[in-house]
Amino acid sequence: METANYKYVIFALVIAAIFAVAPFSLPRFYVYLIALIVTTGLLSTSLNFVLGFGGIYQFHHAVFYGVGAYGAAVMIMKLNYNPWIGFIVGPLAAAFLSLVIGLICIRLSKLYFGMLQISLGSLVWAIVYRWYTFTGGDDGIHGISVPPILESPIGSYYFTLIVVALSLFIMYRILKAPFGSILQGIRDNVVRSQAIGVNVRRHQLIAIVIAGFFAGVAGVLFVVVDNSVFPDMMFWTLSLEITIMALVGGWYTFLGPMLGAAIIVLLRTFVSTMTEYWALALGLVLLLVILFLPEGVLGKVFEIWRERGLGRTGEAERTKGTDYA
Amino acid sequence: MLEVRNISKSFGGFRAINRANLDVKKGEVVAVIGPNGAGKTTLFNVITGILKPNEGQVVFKGEDITGLAPHKMCKKGIARSFQIVNIFSRLTVFQNVQIAVFAEQGRDLTLFSPSRKLAVDDTYAILDSVGLTEKAKSVCGSLSHGDLKVLEIAIVLGGRPELVILDEPTAGMSPEETGRCISLIQRLSTERGLTILFCEHDMELVFSIAQRIMVMVQGSTIIESDCASVRRNKEVQDAYLGED
């Protein structure tokens, strides 16, 4: 266990170092691309918090991303608040909306939950799309002013990285805590979870609010990176895309969605310069993953590790329990 | 401790339970027997809150608990196992029991303390007592059917119940596994002083560990008495035990 942890620390430090030096060695476009990937990755991770770890079919998760971004944008540009206040209001608005939509949908299970959630999310999208005076309608809101320190690409890049890392860390801790353990229990077996005394709906609702909050954080980061918001951010196709990211990366793994986001965003960026049918490539990737890697890329990697005995669940130590996820 | 009074439950036009009665005293081991479709599992589902009865009452320790939600039943001290293996399939054996302990300790909303350091001794104590310690780190998918049924019971114990309800604890077990399971149930009764209510097809098991037996046929209670009287009862012999 100790040696395995040691390896993870080294791995994490290397990744951190690569991210830290990126702005000094890469063209500006790639720096923007990395920021976009980690932001989208955070969004997909927040979805997977309820999807892969909670078994909750939150099919229209992007709506909370959009509301987080719009919450900040409207506070800053329409109501003239300090940007920092907008950045805090955005995720809170997303968390609040996820509570409202969650309360309505939670009575239903699985696919029925997902279908109602799509419709309610689309309703929110329709309001944002039509309400020109407040949300800018289909134009969105552009040129959003951000705090001076975030105006430079490097400033916004580091801010994004730090917030994403912090958000991932918090979600990871929650999943490794009893709350997360029980959430995974609910995913596996709702009836049994009730039978051991878990208030399943309350538990799921709290998970939905946490996920909505971090989707809102990702939305704010998009504002920081792009200085704009537009209704497509909460259109259902984005929800589908981030779901695919989680599936491709590995929806039973914590970092899978981040990896999936990297794969899909890169694919979209480079394939769409070659052909306008980039969705065809996406479909192909999805098909291959479903056929050959049903647990996603990272799920497959962990499976190989376990088979080679490098796994995280290998050593039996009586003083400690086993790790979840 | 548990009183079931005139419970009825219908599904559409079909009356699964028809005025069933049952009385379980503290420390007793009581069996519910009856042919397939007699309503045994339905009765257990009503007692544990998964189904709401159409009429009648469930009284536990003097309190009317009819129709409470399942998780509240568990908090009252009633824990159950399931006839068809019903566990947390992607978690390890250890984790299956541990989350039941978490729920019992009211830790379900603990957001930041790491699970791996919590309730470890309590969980191992349960695994030790049912004999699953060696399999603690295995993911449940790799367990034999017999081990899974024992895990069912271990999860129940995680809730530190006063009343344990076991729905066909030995269903599908091999003879040795059944023997192991019988002695486990007996130990739970004698060592932990648990009150146990179970239903079972295996007559040998029923007569060897039950102190009292309730016989259900077509949703109704025919007799509720000690083993000897049940054996002698004419109606029971006709309905269930056969010719011999």
Tell me the residues of chain B between 31 and 50 that have a Cβ less than 8 Å away from chain A: 48, 50
Using the Cβ of B91 and the Cβ atoms of chain A, whether some distance falls under 8 Å is answered with yes
Burial code (b: 16+ CB inside 10 Å, e: under 16) for B124-152 equals bebbebbebbebbbbbbeebeebbbbbbb
In chain A, residues with a C-beta closer than 8 Å to the C-beta of B167 are none
Q: For residue B186, what are its two tokens?
A: 């007996």
Q: For residue A75, what are its two tokens?
A: 């506070």
With CA atoms as reference, the chain A residue closest to B84 would be: A192
**B223, amino acid identity:** I
Of the pLDDT bands very low, low, confident and very high (cuts 50, 70, 90), residue B12 is confident
Contact across the interface for A197 and B75, Cβ inside 8 Å: yes
Which residue is listed with tokens 């504002």? Answer: A223
Which residue is listed with tokens 């790491």? Answer: B114
CB nearest A321 (choices: B120, B139, B159): B120
Mean pLDDT for A113-128 is 94
Closest C-alpha among B163, B102, B105, B94 to residue B130: B94
Chain centroid offset of residue A291 CA: 24
- ipTM here: 0.87
Taken in order B183, B184, B190, B194, the sign of the CA dihedral is negative
Can you give the pLDDT at residue A324? Answer: 59
Candidates B115, B142, B152, B162, partner chain A, best to mutate (most A CBs within 10 A): B115
User: Which of A168-182, B14-28, B44-58 is predicted most confidently?
Assistant: A168-182
Please give the model's pTM, rounded to 2 decimal places.
Answer: 0.89
User: Residue A70 and residue A67: Cα distance in Å, rounded?
Assistant: 5
Mean pLDDT for A235-239 is 93
Q: Is the Cβ–Cβ distance between B26 and B74 less than 8 Å? A: no
Is A110 among the domain residues?
Answer: yes
Tell me the residue range of the domain where A92 lies.
Answer: 2-307
More confident site: A205 or A152: A205
- Three-class SS state of A307: helix
In chain B, residues with a C-beta closer than 8 Å to the C-beta of A49 are none
* A187-209: pLDDT as tens digits: 999 999 999 999 999 999 999 99
Using the Cβ of A274 and the Cβ atoms of chain B, whether some distance falls under 8 Å is answered with no
In chain B, residues with a C-beta closer than 8 Å to the C-beta of A251 are none
Domains and CATH numbers, chain B: 2-241 (3.40.50.300)
- In eight-state DSSP terms, residue B170 is T
Candidates A51, A107, A172, A192, partner chain B, best to mutate (most B CBs within 10 A): A192
User: Residue B222 and residue B233: Cα distance in Å, rounded?
Assistant: 10
User: Residue B186 and residue B198: Cα distance in Å, rounded?
Assistant: 12
Name the minimum distance, in Å, from the CA of B96 to any CA of chain A.
8
What is the CATH classification number for the domain harbouring A17? 1.10.3470
CB nearest B107 (choices: A178, A195, A203): A178
Q: Show Cβ contacts of residue A53 under 8 Å, excluding neighbours closer than 6 positions.
A: A175, A180, A183, A184, A187, A207, A252, A325
Is A211 among the domain residues?
Answer: yes
Closest C-alpha among A19, A22, A96, A84 to residue A258: A19
User: Residue A54 and residue B63: Cα distance in Å, rounded?
Assistant: 34
Can you give the pLDDT at residue B208? Answer: 84
Mean pLDDT for A41-66 is 96
* A65-96: pLDDT as tens digits: 999 999 999 999 999 999 999 999 999 999 99
Using the Cβ of A319 and the Cβ atoms of chain B, whether some distance falls under 8 Å is answered with yes
Is A321 among the domain residues?
Answer: no
At B222, which helix (H) or strand (E)? strand B220-226
Give the count of domains, chain A. Answer: 1
Contact across the interface for A192 and B155, Cβ inside 8 Å: yes
Strand partners, B60: B2, B63
Residue B226 has pLDDT above 80, yes or no: yes
Is A200 among the domain residues?
Answer: yes
With CA atoms as reference, the chain A residue closest to B109 would be: A179
Contact across the interface for B111 and A191, Cβ inside 8 Å: no
Give the orientation angle of helix A62-73 with respect to helix A83-105, to 10 degrees. 150
Contact across the interface for A185 and B155, Cβ inside 8 Å: no
Using the Cβ of B142 and the Cβ atoms of chain A, whether some distance falls under 8 Å is answered with no
Q: For residue A217, what are its two tokens?
A: 């954080």
Please tell me the least confidently modeled range out of A107-121, A183-197, A304-318, B43-57.
A304-318
Tell me the three-class secondary structure of B15-82, residue by residue.
EEEEEEEEEECCCCEEEEECCCCCCHHHHHHHHCCCCCCCEEEEEECCEECCCCCHHHHHHHCEEECC
User: Residue A49 and residue A98: Cα distance in Å, rounded?
Assistant: 14
- In eight-state DSSP terms, residue A137 is G
Using the Cβ of B102 and the Cβ atoms of chain A, whether some distance falls under 8 Å is answered with yes
Mean pLDDT for A46-73 is 96
Name the minimum distance, in Å, from the CA of A234 to any CA of chain B.
29
